[in-house]
Amino acid sequence: MTPTKVRVMDTTLRDGSHAIRHRFTKEQVHNIVKALDEAGVPVIEISHGDGLAGSSMQYGMSLVDEFELIEEAAKTSKNAKIASLLLPGIGTRKELKQAKDCGISMVRIATQCSEADISEQHFGLAKELGLETVGFLMMAHMLSPEDLAKQAKLMESYGADIVYIVDSAGTMMPQDVTARVKALTGELKVPIGYHAHNNIGLAIGNSLAAVEAGAACIDASTSGLGAGSGNTQTEVLVAALSKVGCETGIDLFKIMDAAEYIVQPMMEYPMTINRDALTIGYTGLYSTFLMHAKKAGEKFNIDPREILLELSRRKAVAGQEDWILDVAAELANR
């Protein structure tokens, strides 16, 4: 049964961090949070693109310490919840406690879709801290709907208040989304969410398919700002959901203005489906690999698509960004 109300979580200040090389300033955070909050966005996610403690040579250095940005977001928001992403193995209990002290009221705990078991202690601490908890099953296309539901059940048992199906590669077709949402809604008592990337142009369509199949929470990013060719566009999603009778509580005109006048002027490039992003979606690779593959391609004078295809052949997943330079070097020496 299609929900009549959908909770939209905006990831501009987290997933969008990838697209601007993790260079958000406090002023930009203030302006974006203020605009999204005034538009009625209920949840705003902010952290390094790879989650708490992601700032590193491997994942990309942040221009401004993420905890300063979280504090600015929490200080600016009057109604929206402030959330952060945490990937066990990158972020630790220490960073989670610090983020709570800086003002988050929700944590989204992300694992590879087959590794939910590594998140138990993080959910436990989050509940101790009084945070709303979201389970984030990345690269969800790599498991069958039935096996994905088993992983989701683990997160639910650890204390997840919501569990997300995450199409990190932007590779799913609508029927893939429908099958996975139905599998999870059939097994879990908590709400199901869906996070899309637009690498093959299906972010909005897949998000609508998720809602039709029973998802109650959808991720989006204002102007689509995000890894790869970007995420579901918040302003477009709000309009599309309204047309199918779903309430979001977000003012359509205000979120349109936030996209056009606040976010777009600070974007380094528009979110388009170029050949490299399409390769990510076609091969089913993690969307954040795109920027790293481009840099490696320039360094070794190799078409980034060749690097991406080889990474796909090796079934690379999130956390294996260190492979990218190795693969590029090997290809250059062939």
Over residues 196-224, the pLDDT tens digits come to 999 999 999 999 999 999 999 999 999 99
298-312 pLDDT per residue, tens: 889 988 888 888 888
Q: What integer pLDDT is reported at residue 1 of this predicted model? A: 58
The model's confidence at residue 276, banded by pLDDT at 50, 70 and 90, is confident
Residue 59 pLDDT: 81
Marked catalytic residue, from 18, 22, 48, 141: 18
Looking at residues 257-270, what average pLDDT do you find? 96
- pLDDT tens-digit series, residues 143-177: 999 999 999 999 999 999 999 999 999 999 999 99
Q: Consult the annotation and say whether 15 binds a ligand.
A: yes
Across 234-258, average pLDDT:
98
Phi and psi, residue 244, nearest 5°:
-100, 15
Q: In sequence order, what DSSP letters do the residues of 6-52 get, joined into one string?
A: -EEEEEEETHHHHHTTT---HHHHHHHHHHHHHHT-SEEEES-TT-T
Q: 40 pLDDT exceeds 70?
A: yes
* Residue type at position 180: R
Residue 107 CA to residue 124 CA, distance in Å, equals: 12
Q: Does the annotation list 48 as a binding residue?
A: no
Q: How far apart are CA 267 and CA 18, in angstroms?
A: 11
Taking only the tens place, the pLDDT of each residue in 52-67 is 999 988 788 999 999 9
Q: Which residues pair with 136 in a beta bridge?
A: 110, 164
Q: Assess whether pLDDT exceeds 90 at residue 283.
A: no
Residue 30 annotated as binding site: no
Query: How far is the C-alpha of 125 from the C-alpha of 143, rounded, in Å?
Result: 28
Distance of CA 100 to the CA centre of its chain: 20
Would you say residue 294 has pLDDT above 90? no
Q: What residues are paired with 107 via a beta bridge?
A: 84, 133
- With cut-offs at 50, 70 and 90, classify the pLDDT of residue 137: very high
90-123 pLDDT tens trace: 999 999 999 999 999 999 999 999 999 999 999 9
In order of their start, the domains of the chain are: 7-265 (3.20.20.70), 288-332 (1.10.8.60)
Determine whether 18 is an active site residue: yes
Diameter of the chain measured on Cα atoms:
57
Q: Is 164 annotated as a binding residue?
A: no
Q: Are strands 106-112 and 162-166 parallel, antiparallel or unpaired?
A: unpaired
Please, what is the end-to-end C-alpha distance for the chain in angstroms?
Answer: 54
Look up residue 315 and give its DSSP letter: T
Spatial neighbors of 130 by CB under 8 A, at least 6 apart, are none
246: pLDDT strictly greater than 90: yes
Say whether 197 counts as a known binding-site residue: yes
As a whole number, the mean pLDDT across the chain is: 94
Q: Is the pLDDT of residue 290 over 80?
A: no
Q: Which ranges in the chain belong to alpha helices (H)?
A: 15-19, 26-39, 66-76, 93-102, 120-128, 145-158, 174-187, 203-213, 234-243, 252-257, 275-283, 289-300, 304-313, 322-332
DSSP codes of every residue in 265-308: GG-SS-----HHHHHHHHHT--TTHHHHHHHHHHHHT--HHHHH
Q: What is the pLDDT of residue 293?
A: 84
How far is it, in rounded angstroms, from Cα 228 to Cα 167?
12
The answer to whether the CB of 22 falls within 8 A of the CB of 61 is: yes
Range 319-324 average pLDDT: 76
Give residue 206's pLDDT.
Answer: 98
Nearest CA to 249 out of 1, 3, 6, 2 is that of 6
Average pLDDT over residues 60-82: 97
* pLDDT score at 319: 67
- For residue 181, pLDDT beyond 80: yes
Query: Where is pLDDT greater, at 279 or 16?
Result: 16
3-state secondary structure of 110: strand
Instruction: Give me the residues paired with residue 133 across strands.
Output: 107
Residue 124 CB coordination number (10 Å)? 14
* Residue 14 is assigned to a ligand binding site: yes
Task: Please give the angle made by the CA atoms of 131, 31 and 269, to the nearest 5 degrees.
Answer: 105
